[in-house]
């Protein structure tokens, strides 16, 4: 199947059929409000096999970093779950980095940053299950404009595992944001304006533009915008009322503001601007509450089904959460072994500077975000940890690791 740039009547019919298939899947996934998932029930730590005193070590750390004259983290939240239940979320600090910001709201919605990526990829996996997308197809089969030296060698799966050779961001990324261009402009740029830094499947290099290309594939196959698709196919079936790609439709006061890089200070296009909040970048623009995202973590632990809603098959969950780099024959073995990636979800990198915690194994999967967020999910303990801070991660990544270590030690 080749989808030409200028659609013919046949193309319109094909697109309509694809859209109908997606809509049918959505209906099947949402049979009535009675099946809509709710937040996970709360439990005392000891009731779900957690050491409450040890968990308090993590709470005390974040409390220390968010209070007092020398506080280095504006605000944050911690949620820890196991066996389908969570310890009640704990909130710390202020609603924003401003010195006079009010206390953080317990209905606050956090900018998940790059933790958005596995949710976008999850959306693409739904299309794989419906027979609309093959991960081993060349990207150009779905997006004919994806042209350039060796770009015909990029398979869809390379976009999921950061082995495509695409750059992380567009060269004029900041300039586009200054101009307040719409989100589609970034997707078009990822498709048409990118060049590869290496032959696909031979190296690993983190690439947000690859996620943008996946979002464009989803849009073309579903007939929906990426924000509409994720809402209809993931957030609504799971009953997630405080999650969205972008902040449109949510009260601005609920959005937790974050520290921003130097180039964003005083701008009208940074992470805390109405422009960026509403843009809904599929690689980093999701907002969610701690309890909403806990449902997604439990969905992955429960092999794709939550509260009677089957969103994914167990086969899809296995594919997303096991090391796919071993499937690339030209990728150096040491990289595939020590820095594994699943399909959209990253696996922990024990023994490297990219590890999420010294007490976490290689089977743990999750993701991090530049705004100071970390999520990890452990199939062995059937537990998960959501750390949502608002301090730029790259300035002190060790803080999130300290919190992870304290939480991991609480699992009995």
Per-residue pLDDT tens over the stretch 55-86: 999 999 999 999 977 789 999 999 999 999 99
Distance, CA of 28 to CA of 231 (rounded, Å): 15
Give how far Cα 8 sits from Cα of 12, 20, 132, 145, Å: 6, 18, 19, 16
pLDDT given at position 38: 80
Residue range 396-408: mean pLDDT, rounded = 96
pLDDT given at position 13: 32
* Whether pLDDT at 35 is above 70: no
pLDDT of 236-275, one tens digit each?
A: 999 999 999 999 999 999 999 999 999 999 999 999 999 9
Q: What is the pTM of this model?
A: 0.91
Distance, CA of 298 to CA of 168 (rounded, Å): 29
pLDDT of 207-245, one tens digit each?
A: 999 999 999 999 999 999 999 999 999 999 999 999 999
Indicate the pairing of strand 286-288 with strand 244-245.
antiparallel
pLDDT of 107-124, one tens digit each?
A: 999 999 999 999 999 999
pLDDT given at position 12: 35
Query: How far is C-alpha 404 from the geometric centre of its chain's CA atoms?
Result: 18
Q: Phi, psi (5° rounding) for residue 278?
A: -85, -15
The β-bridge partners of 367 are 375
Distance, CA of 340 to CA of 118 (rounded, Å): 15
pLDDT of 147-187, one tens digit each?
A: 999 999 999 999 999 999 999 999 999 999 999 999 999 99
Distance, CA of 168 to CA of 263 (rounded, Å): 18
Residue 298 · residue 306 · CB < 8 Å? yes
pLDDT given at position 201: 98
For residue 266 the two structure tokens come to 């005083």
pLDDT given at position 69: 76
Domain 32-408, CATH class in plain words: alpha beta
Residue 390 · residue 75 · CB < 8 Å? yes
Distance, CA of 146 to CA of 176 (rounded, Å): 20
pLDDT of 282-301, one tens digit each?
A: 999 999 999 999 999 999 99
pLDDT given at position 208: 98
* Whether pLDDT at 335 is above 80: yes
Residue range 326-353: mean pLDDT, rounded = 96
pLDDT given at position 68: 76
* Whether pLDDT at 14 is above 80: no
Q: Phi, psi (5° rounding) for residue 204?
A: -115, 125
pLDDT given at position 11: 46
Q: Phi, psi (5° rounding) for residue 258?
A: -120, 160
- What rounded mean pLDDT belongs to the chain? 92
End-to-end CA distance of the chain, in Å? 52
């Amino acid at each position: 199947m080749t989808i030409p740039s200028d659609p013919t009547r046949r193309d319109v019919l094909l697109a309509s059929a694809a859209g109908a298939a997606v809509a049918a899947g959505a209906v099947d996934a949402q049979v009535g409000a009675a099946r809509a998932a709710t937040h996970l029930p709360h439990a005392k730590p000891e009731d779900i096999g957690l050491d409450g005193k040890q968990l308090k070590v993590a709470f005390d750390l974040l409390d220390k970093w968010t209070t007092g004259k020398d506080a280095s983290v504006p605000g944050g939240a911690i949620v820890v779950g196991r066996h389908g239940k969570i310890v009640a979320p704990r909130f710390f600090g202020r609603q924003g980095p401003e010195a006079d910001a009010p206390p953080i709201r317990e209905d606050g919605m956090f900018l998940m940053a790059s933790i958005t990526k596995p949710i976008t990829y999850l959306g693409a996996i739904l299309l794989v299950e419906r027979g609309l997308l093959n991960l081993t197809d060349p990207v150009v089969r779905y997006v004919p404009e994806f042209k350039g030296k060796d770009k015909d060698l990029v398979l869809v799966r390379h976009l999921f595992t950061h082995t495509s050779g695409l750059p992380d961001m567009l060269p004029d990324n900041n300039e586009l944001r200054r101009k307040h261009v719409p989100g589609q402009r970034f997707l078009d740029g990822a498709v048409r304006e990118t060049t590869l830094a290496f032959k696909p499947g031979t190296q690993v290099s983190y690439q947000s533009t690859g996620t943008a290309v996946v979002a464009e594939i989803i849009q073309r196959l579903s007939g929906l915008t990426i924000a509409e698709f994720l809402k209809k196919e993931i957030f609504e079936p799971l009953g997630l009322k405080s999650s969205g790609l972008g902040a449109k439709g949510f009260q601005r006061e609920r959005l937790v503001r974050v520290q921003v890089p130097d180039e964003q200070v005083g701008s009208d296009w940074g992470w805390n601007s109405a422009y960026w909040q509403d843009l809904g970048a599929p690689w980093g623009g999701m907002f969610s509450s701690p309890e909403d995202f806990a449902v997604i973590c439990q969905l992955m632990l429960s092999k794709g089904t939550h509260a009677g809603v089957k969103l994914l098959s167990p086969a899809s969950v296995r594919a997303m959460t096991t090391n796919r780099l071993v499937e690339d024959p030209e990728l150096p073995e040491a990289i595939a072994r020590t820095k594994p990636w699943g399909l959209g979800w990253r696996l922990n990198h024990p023994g490297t500077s990219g590890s999420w915690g010294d007490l976490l194994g290689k089977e743990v999967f999750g993701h991090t975000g530049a705004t100071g967020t970390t999520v990890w999910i452990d199939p062995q303990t059937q537990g998960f940890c959501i750390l949502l801070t608002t301090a730029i991660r790259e300035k002190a990544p060790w803080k999130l690791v300290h919190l992870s270590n304290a939480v991991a030690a609480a699992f009995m």
